[in-house]
Amino acid sequence: MTLTAQQIINNPFLNKGTAFTKAERDRYGLNGVLPPAVQTLDQQVAQAYAQYSQKPSALEKRIFLMDIFNHNHVLFYALFGQHVAEFMPIVYDPTIADTIENYSALFIDPQNATYLSIEDQDHIEDALKASADGRDIRLIVVTDAEGILGIGDWGTQGVDIAVGKLMVYTAAAGIDPSQVLPVVLDAGTNNESLLNDDLYLGLRKQRVYGDEYHAFVDKFVDTARTLFPKLYLHFEDFGRSNAADILDQYKDQLTTFNDDIQGTGIIVLAGILGALNISKQKMTDQVYMSFGAGTAGAGITQRIYEEFLQQGMSEDEARKHFYLVDKQGLLFDDMADLTPQQRPFARSRSEFANADELTSLAAAVKAVHPTILVGTSTVPGTFTEEVVTEMAAHTDRPIIFPLSNPTKLRKPRRKT
């Protein structure tokens, strides 16, 4: 099929803007559709970066970059590729939290995403085909947006996390952007601010759980892997009640990955191994505490635990090195609301003379004396001087990773 000039310049996968050469303009009928000057890609990048630099806030910078993405993928990735370190917190975390929270109000373009509703499952196949538009899709990042970053349930607006993640895949790992597809599974939302927002673009109902929800996920996965047989499926920011179950269901059926459970865990492990390389300590001598025991916290803990096993420790002995602290304090095995991922690391109250008092991070640190402390909660200001001093009193080189999101929940430092 021969494309018209307008079809070419309005397709972000094909459009090069003023970088179309004279020969290309003759071939595709672009003469007079673009200004007569022919720019190089380097000139376009310099021009765009100068405009970017004038934007007064991180949010305005991200909106500017997304406008380029919507029109010209070649320019977007050339610009991003030259400024990866600078752009990463703009394109992705933490600025993406602001665009997710304001997605409906800011919406202009779907950015090649697919929006699937639990109330319109008959069109899953049609929607995926239309979004792919004949492209050879090899990678899908899909979210149901129940557990976005540290900001929780954002319904359809969470699609932006899938869009942003795929941008990082391309800029940092060289993944062909024509072979990726962001998808959101809209099963409703429990976010009352969205349900009461006239501008909200998602499904206006309480979030669906149970068999109906899992049937929706199953239909999407079955359809996607039928349409795209070379698919790598990345699950992103699913809620703690579903994330691990979905990963366990599909991990032996297709190439799949959950970033919150697996990706963050392997990065934290790399950080710990790096720290131990400096301190010359052994992994199996460490006492690990996670503040935050949701999907990410429990997933990271599981990955570090697996490293203990790989270094020769038995399962029972390894579990003695791990402690989870959540909003109610240290997790104990008699708590009724433990998730399957938390339960293996919950402690017995009989281990502590003051178990009923271990309801805060500071109390837990004082009782346990961890050598590694990882934060994956949304509670700001918890890694206090008291906590750090207590850790340092019992280990020469404490390892502390405050990973919690989003940035806006962190308390500002006191001026001295």
**Enzyme catalytic residues:** 92, 165
The β-bridge partners of 291 are 325, 375
- CA–CA separation, 371 and 37 (whole Å): 62
Q: What is the 3-state secondary structure (H, E, C) of the chain?
A: CCCCHHHHHCCCCCCCHHHCCHHHHHHHCCECCECCCCCCHHHHHHHHHHHHHCCCCHHHHHHHHHHHHHHCHHHHHHHHHHCHHHHHHHHCCCHHHHHHHCHHHHCCCCCCCEEEECCCHHHHHHHHHHHHCCCCCCEEEEECCCCECCCECCHHHHHHHHHHHHHHHHHHHCCCHHHEEEEEEECCCCCHHHHCCCCCCCCCCCCCCHHHHHHHHHHHHHHHHHHCCCCEEEECCCCCCCHHHHHHHHCCCCEEEEHHHHHHHHHHHHHHHHHHHHHCCCHHHCCEEEECCCHHHHHHHHHHHHHHHHCCCCHHHHHCCEEEEECCEECECCCCCCCCCCHHHCECHHHCCCHHHCCCHHHHHHHHCCCEEEECCCCCCCCCHHHHHHHHCCCCCCEEEECCCCHHHCCCCCCC
Query: What is each CA distance from 168 to 13, 64, 242, 330, 345, in whole angstroms?
Result: 17, 17, 25, 36, 33
- CA–CA separation, 368 and 271 (whole Å): 22
